[in-house]
Amino acid sequence: MAVDLNTLDFDEIARKEAARHRGRRWKVAVALLFSLVWVVPFYFLAISIFKSSTEYASNPPLSLPAGLSPIAENAQRAWELGNMGQSMLNSGFYGTLGAALAVFFAAMAAFAITRIDLPWKNGWFMLIFAGTVFPFQMYLIPLFFGYQKLGLLNSHLGMLLFYTAICVPFPTLVLRNFMSGLSREMDEAARMDGAGEFTVFFRVVLPNTVGPMIAVFLLQFTWIWNDMLFSTVLGNRLETRSIMNALLIFQGSYSSIGPNIVLTAALIASVPSLILFFLLRRHFMQGLQVQQA
Amino acid sequence: MDRAAQDTELLNRIGLDQTLRRERVRRRGQLGLGLLFMAPALVLVTSLLLVPVGYNIWLSFTKWKKFKGFGEYAGWANYEKMASNPFFTDALINTAIWVVASIVFPIALGLIMALFLRNMRGAEAFKNVVFIPRILAPTAVGVLWFYVYAPDGLLNRGLSLFTTGDVEIGWLYQDNTVTPAIIATFVWQTAGLVMVLLLLGLAAIPRDPVEAAHIDGANKWQIFRFITLPLLMPTLLMVTILSVLAGFTVFDLLWVMGANYPGQRSLALAVFMYFEAFQKGSWAFGSAVAVVIGLVVLGVTWIQTLLQSRVDRMVR
């Protein structure tokens, strides 16, 4: 079919194209303006840690610092006042070991539920998953008294046990869903060749579940690292408290300690989870997709 | 020989009995093996999560005495005490405000941002900026915003630019500003996650119905209202539930940011419970408040399952 060029209005097409481009630029401008709501507080944080206490008090909050040197003193004071070294070690210990144990135990339970021919499969799963139903406030008082009686209050072991327990149910859900989608042919083949259930678990199923296991490990690690409530209730001692609990020390006496130092402490406490996020963004996003399923 | 005896003899020869017995042994073996694999998870969850919940419910019906501990059964006394406690009613109202606010604001903001960024070039950078607060601990975010809201802090200095004279609002010290201010921080922290989840949901919507509607002459609003929105419903519902539960059980932000607010315990039920139990030592009363919190969570979960089944039917 011949196209009648006279009916095509090229001016009109060009105008529409230009409008679309303008629309796109307008959109970017709006997005930039809107993201200021997020950028400005971060900028405020970023410059405040470079200010000395007198500088913070006398200059406008968004003014650039006079020099970069005060950060050394801010960090040192924050580190010493909050005993942050000890609490960072504690949180690192609870986070890595607690989340790793929880994910491993969850994988074992998910294996039993999806791969072993046992009665009341759903019942067992619901029993474990019930651990996510209740609000944290219902655990606090009984655990406090129970731990006191058992001598677990303010001990590393007690904290680790609790963090492991609370991180078990959610990974069990995720790994159960994942494992029930894994092909059964491979483990049947392994069983035919005389492999026991332990071999099937360690050699066949686990190696295929590494991806989701890393994803849930990261989610649970950040949860433990960011927890403040259970550390204040179950381990509120210098030797056992977590890093977020250590931040509260500054909050109580904020008037005597300058905001520049408290903000530095808050940033130091957040550095590990930020680094983890940027290094392992892909796994975090996978975790989000997992969370959605 | 009669018929029945013949049958038994035949069965014995086949060995059905033995097969059944062997099957039963195998099943018992499987149960044992399964329990072995589930043991660590089961033991940890029951002993550290489920048993404490049961114990908490029991405690809420007892009386706490100094030096004697939990003792006699007290019936509904702890629950009756709540009604006459002014801080409790305030906390309840504030919690209701939190429930509504954590549905409306993060979802509305997240949805607008997701739709806006959907087909934009360079959206990655914006996504990251908005998402980062979610990585940070609520405690750290609370500390940051505590200084943003301070009387001589960032927000007041910023507002001073637009008015004559200095603005000196104590955002976190006044009854009528403290809850909205902390809710704003909550939205600031969580809208990014909502947005990312909604973007994932939007990406999963098939192109065909959208294009078909476009060809049929539907405008942008109609496409959104009659195609995108219904298909996004399951994601929206899931995100809403996540957001409500997060907003309803918020504690860290209130604890850090409300530290200087005189009526801190009335900021939410979670804070009220912590205050009564761990600062005042009214342990039995505190556990009753915890049960109330549990009931509200149960109610929200129940509504969720109702809506879930409706949405499932709608999509199918």
> Where do the structural domains in chain A lie, given as residue ranges?
8-76, 77-292
Cβ within 8 Å of A, B 145-164:
145-148, 150, 153-154, 157
What is the per-residue pLDDT for B313? 77
b (16+ CB within 10 A) / e for A229-251: bbbbbbbeeeebbbbbbbbbbbb
Query: What does each C-alpha distance from B227 to A236, A279, B239 come to in angstroms?
Result: 53, 37, 19
Residues of B in contact with A116 (CB under 8 A): 30, 33-34, 37
Average pLDDT over residues B127-148: 91
Largest distance between two CA atoms of chain A: 92
What is the per-residue pLDDT for B13? 75
List all residues 6 or more positions away from B111 whose beta carbon is below 8 Å from its beta carbon: B194, B195, B198, B236
Model pTM above 0.90? no
Mean pLDDT, chain B, whole residue set: 88
Rounded to an integer, what distance in angstroms lies between the CA atom of residue A94 and that of residue A90?
Answer: 6
Average pLDDT over residues B93-119: 91
Q: Is B1 helix (H, G, I), strand (E, B) or coil?
A: coil
The whole-angstrom distance between A87's CA and the closest CA on chain B is 15
Rounded to an integer, what distance in angstroms lies between the CA atom of residue A124 and that of residue A105?
Answer: 14
- B315 pLDDT band, cuts 50/70/90, is low
For chain A, which ranges sit under pLDDT 50?
Answer: 1, 293
- B122 pLDDT band, cuts 50/70/90, is confident
The answer to whether residue B316 scores a pLDDT higher than 60 is no
The whole-angstrom distance between A223's CA and the closest CA on chain B is 8
If one compares B51 and B259, the residue with the highest pLDDT of the two is B51
Is residue B7 exposed (0-12), middle (13-18) or buried (19+ Cβ within 10 Å)? Answer: exposed
CATH superfamily of A77-292: MetI-like (1.10.3720.10)
If one compares B278 and B1, the residue with the highest pLDDT of the two is B278
The whole-angstrom distance between A281's CA and the closest CA on chain B is 10
Cβ within 8 Å of A, B 5-64:
27, 30-31, 33-38, 40-42, 44-53, 55-56, 59
Q: How many residues does chain B have?
A: 316
Q: Where are the domains of chain B?
A: 87-315
What is the per-residue pLDDT for A293? 45
Of 1.10.569.10, 1.10.3720.10, 1.10.10.10, 3.30.365.10, the CATH number of B87-315 is 1.10.3720.10
Rounded to an integer, what distance in angstroms lies between the CA atom of residue B287 and that of residue A286?
Answer: 38
Are B137 and A137 in contact (CB < 8 Å)?
Answer: no
What is the per-residue pLDDT for A38? 92
